[in-house]
């Protein structure tokens, strides 16, 4: 059964969840029903009182069609479409609380970009594992989508991936606005792998910038990073066209080159010699600075790649810097010291 109408709940009032609530409310017009759930009651109260979310999307006036709440049960009541905008490593614990509240047949949409530590599951797999829904009810939204730019109504495109074409098209219609253009895709695996892995490569790009390296190095990291992503994605059954598109190359380029990217910015701080603790505390949104998906996901991605016999040297180097105390300079030397081979 395809769920195409009714209320929409966005679970997570961080920058990405908030900006997608804005897109949904504006694309849907005056009749749109969008509820935005915030973990903190003060964030929800501030949004309702002022139509601003200064902690996560400063300076952006939200449309009146958004109702914020810290009550998960109230947010999910009657929602036929639920966008899950919580960090990858908290997806499971949040869903365990929310699963009994979900409407039968609802479309569940992952906004998170990561691989779960321990289980090595993609987010769509975590959703199915916890809720027991048919995988066809689960969709993924991913692409070159920097929240701060979309908040300013700058043109952007994204991918809505779902094995149920009816649900994908319904989500496409909900999100289609004058500045936000969604494309549909049935390749959930490729869309998720592109979104998770690009954060790690963005950390590497940031590290290179931090030590003073230039555009040639950045281009090499992005290109060889894409090769790693494609090797893993194809091993998992992804389509190469997906990884060559918005959810792969597009997201990779945006995240690796933008100063608004948390992962790139954190990598840059590490490249300048800061400790991991110092770099995390200096990241945007200080109180939630620990949510830099590439730092946590690099270990899971590396384990997943190893289980499929896929070599990911850039990901390995980032993991060593983030979790094993390797200096950025030593990581660069390690990569340059690898044996030469055909591209």
Residues marked active site are found at 198
263 labelled as ligand-binding?
A: yes
Q: At 317, which helix (H) or strand (E)? A: helix 313-323
Half-sphere exposure of 88 (CA within 13 A, CB side): 31
Q: Is 98 annotated as a binding-site member?
A: no
Contact 315, 263 (CB under 8 A): no
Q: Binding residue per annotation — 22?
A: no
> Per the annotation, does 216 bind a ligand?
no
Query: Is position 293 annotated in a ligand binding site?
Result: yes
185 has binding-site annotation: no
Task: Look at the chain and count its residues.
Answer: 343
Residue with tokens 């660069």: 332
The single-letter DSSP state of residue 123 is H
Contact 276, 322 (CB under 8 A): yes
At 41, which helix (H) or strand (E)?
Answer: helix 41-50
Instruction: Give the residue among 235, 236, 253 at the shortest CA–CA distance from 244.
Output: 253
Tokens of 108: 């569940």
Q: Which of 328, 316, 320, 19 is nearest to 143 (CA)?
A: 19
341 a known binding residue? no
Check: CB of residue 162 under 8 Å from CB of residue 136: yes
**Residue 164 annotated as part of some ligand binding site:** no
Annotated binding site for sn-glycerol 3-phosphate: 113, 143, 198, 251, 261-263
Annotated binding site for NADPH: 16, 39-40, 56, 113, 147, 262, 291, 293
């Amino acid at each position: 059964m395809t769920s195409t109408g009714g209320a929409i709940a966005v679970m997570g009032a961080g920058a990405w969840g908030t900006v997608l609530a804005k897109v949904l409310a504006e694309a849907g017009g005056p009749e749109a029903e969008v509820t935005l759930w915030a973990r903190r009651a003060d964030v929800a109260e501030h949004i309702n009182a002022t139509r601003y979310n200064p902690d996560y999307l400063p300076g952006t006036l939200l449309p009146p069609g958004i109702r914020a709440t810290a009550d998960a049960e109230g947010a999910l009541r009657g929602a036929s479409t639920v966008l899950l905008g919580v960090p990858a490593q908290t997806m499971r614990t949040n869903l365990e609380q929310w699963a009994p509240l979900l409407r039968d047949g609802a479309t569940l949409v992952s906004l998170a970009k990561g691989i779960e530590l321990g289980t090595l599951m993609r987010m769509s797999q975590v959703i199915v594992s916890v809720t027991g829904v048919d995988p066809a009810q689960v969709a993924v939204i991913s692409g070159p989508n920097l929240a701060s730019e979309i908040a300013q109504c700058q043109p952007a495109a994204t991918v809505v991936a779902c094995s149920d074409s009816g649900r994908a098209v319904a989500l496409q219609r909900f999100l289609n606005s004058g500045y936000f253009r969604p494309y549909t895709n049935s390749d959930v695996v490729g869309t998720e792998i592109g979104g998770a892995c690009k954060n790690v490569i963005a950390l590497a790009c940031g590290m290179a910038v931090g030590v003073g390296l230039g555009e040639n190095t950045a281009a090499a990291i992005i290109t060889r990073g894409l090769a790693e992503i494609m090797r893993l994605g194809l091993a998992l059954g992804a389509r190469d066209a997906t990884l060559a598109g918005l959810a792969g190359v597009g997201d990779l380029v945006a995240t690796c080159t933008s100063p608004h990217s948390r992962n790139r910015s954190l990598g840059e701080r590490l490249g300048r010699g800061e400790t991991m603790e110092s770099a995390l505390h200096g990241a945007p949104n200080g109180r939630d600075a620990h949510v830099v998906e590439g730092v946590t996901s690099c270990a899971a991605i590396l384990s997943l790649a190893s289980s499929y016999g896929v070599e990911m040297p850039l990901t390995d180097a980032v993991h060593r810097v983030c979790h094993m105390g390797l200096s950025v300079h030593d990581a660069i030397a390690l990569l340059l010291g690898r044996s030469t081979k055909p591209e």
